[in-house]
A = this chain, B = another copy of it.
Amino acid sequence: MQTEAITLIRKPIGALTPDMFEPVMQAVPELADGQVLLRVKLLSIDPYQRGLLDESPMTGAPVAVGAVMSGRGIGEVLQSRAPSWDVGDLALGEVGWREHSVVPVAGLQRIVKSPMPLSHNLGVLGFPAITAWLGLETIGFPTAGECVLVSSAAGAVGSAVGQIAKARGARVIGIAGGTRKLSLLRDTLGFDAAVDYRAERDLAAALKLVAPNGLDLYFDNVGEQMLDAAFSVLNNAGRVLLCGHIASYDDTFKADTGPRHYREIMNRRWRVQGFVVRDHMARFAEARKALVDLVESGRLQPVVTRIEGLRNAPVALCGLLNGHHVGKTFVELA
């Protein structure tokens, strides 16, 4: 049996472009014990995948030139040589950018069938929202009346951060690029204010206008200049949760020219803390339960960008990295 897959044909130096990938036909290997054959239904498109193209990714193994691109997704079991997995079961795990994938069941998470859209498992009930919930629960803990800023606010993590912080009673400000995203934040998701970083020449001044009493928490998904601007309006004893640094993903040489506020961290008693969600796997079930409650009560609305067809996965990833999407980006296979 043959299946289509997307391989990397060239490593990016700087910005990633779709022409660095190419579709190929490959033979599907025979099933070994403990494996299942999945028909891939959804591919999750995530910022960490840019890092897999570097020599030494922070997360996961590097993807070599000529290899199939790595990626997580949801598939339906077509054949099984694992006792507890049956044909028709749904599984989430590392499937790669391919239409059919043979994977060991050890790394798979079972998807319980429910009336909710399957893509919820990648977004509003999946890693991005779990990241948001656990980041706020373990480090950020915004309280009623506090002012919370989140960057990449229209993204999968950011849109969840803002809504969860709202649900905890905080005043929430989002940074995003473009009027479509700003409208999403303010009109659909209930953010108290939103700032368009593309339209503002002085981001710090723009933040000061919408946060006249200063920020208590900044949930950072971007780094660099955006982090600088947030520091400039952070209250004494404010917290900064460092969750992502989209600003630098394309920076091949990793010259860290980032913010320079160490003296101010001391003088202003700030707490700056890194957060990596996989450190908190013991609490994933608790997080998911809380997220189901938030979704069912309407306090956490899903935001998605759905792209059709395996061959569009490279375009989907580049679009995500260039800020063209809102919410959780995923590819739906035919």
The chain A residues found within 8 Å of chain B, CB to CB, are 58, 223, 227, 237, 242-245, 248, 254, 256-276, 279
Check B279 against A223 for contact (C-beta < 8 Å): no
Check A269 against B263 for contact (C-beta < 8 Å): no
Q: Which residue of B lies closest to A259 (CB)?
A: B262
Check B262 against A227 for contact (C-beta < 8 Å): yes
Residues of B within 8 Å of A260, CB to CB, are 256-258, 260
Check A266 against B276 for contact (C-beta < 8 Å): yes
Check A279 against B269 for contact (C-beta < 8 Å): yes
Q: Whole-angstrom distance from the CB of A176 to the nearest CB of chain B?
A: 20
Check B258 against A263 for contact (C-beta < 8 Å): yes
Check A270 against B263 for contact (C-beta < 8 Å): no
* Residue with the highest number of chain B CB atoms closer than 10 Å, among A260, A262, A276: A262
Q: Whole-angstrom distance from the CB of A3 to the nearest CB of chain B?
A: 35
Q: Which residue of B lies closest to A245 (CB)?
A: B263
With the chains together, A294 CA to B265 CA distance in Å? 30
Q: Whole-angstrom distance from the CB of A95 to the nearest CB of chain B?
A: 26
Which residue from B245, B248, B254, B266 sits with its C-beta under 8 Å from A242? Answer: B266
Which residue from B227, B237, B266, B276 sits with its C-beta under 8 Å from A243? Answer: B266
Residues of B within 8 Å of A262, CB to CB, are 223, 227, 242, 245, 256, 258-259, 272
**Extra inter-chain contacts (9) besides given A269-B273, A270-B273, CB under 8 Å:** A223-B263, A223-B266, A245-B263, A256-B262, A264-B274, A267-B276, A269-B276, A270-B274, A273-B273
Q: Which residue of B lies closest to A251 (CB)?
A: B263
Q: In the assembly, how many copies of this chain are there?
A: 2
Q: Whole-angstrom distance from the CB of A272 to the nearest CB of chain B?
A: 4
With the chains together, A326 CA to B244 CA distance in Å? 42
Q: Which residue of B lies closest to A257 (CB)?
A: B260
Residues of B within 8 Å of A256, CB to CB, are 260-264
Check A266 against B257 for contact (C-beta < 8 Å): no
Residues of B within 8 Å of A227, CB to CB, are 262
With the chains together, A58 CA to B264 CA distance in Å? 10
Check B259 against A269 for contact (C-beta < 8 Å): no
Residues of B within 8 Å of A237, CB to CB, are 279
Interchain Cβ contacts under 8 Å between A and B, 18 examples = A223-B266, A242-B262, A258-B261, A258-B262, A258-B263, A264-B274, A265-B272, A265-B274, A267-B274, A267-B276, A268-B274, A269-B273, A269-B274, A269-B275, A269-B276, A269-B279, A271-B271, A272-B272
Q: Which residue of B lies closest to A239 (CB)?
A: B273
Q: Which residue of B lies closest to A242 (CB)?
A: B266
- 10 pairs of A and B residues whose beta carbons are closest in the complex: A242-B266, A266-B274, A258-B262, A271-B273, A269-B274, A272-B272, A265-B274, A256-B260, A58-B267, A270-B274
Check B269 against A272 for contact (C-beta < 8 Å): no
With the chains together, A179 CA to B244 CA distance in Å? 44
Q: Whole-angstrom distance from the CB of A275 to the nearest CB of chain B?
A: 7
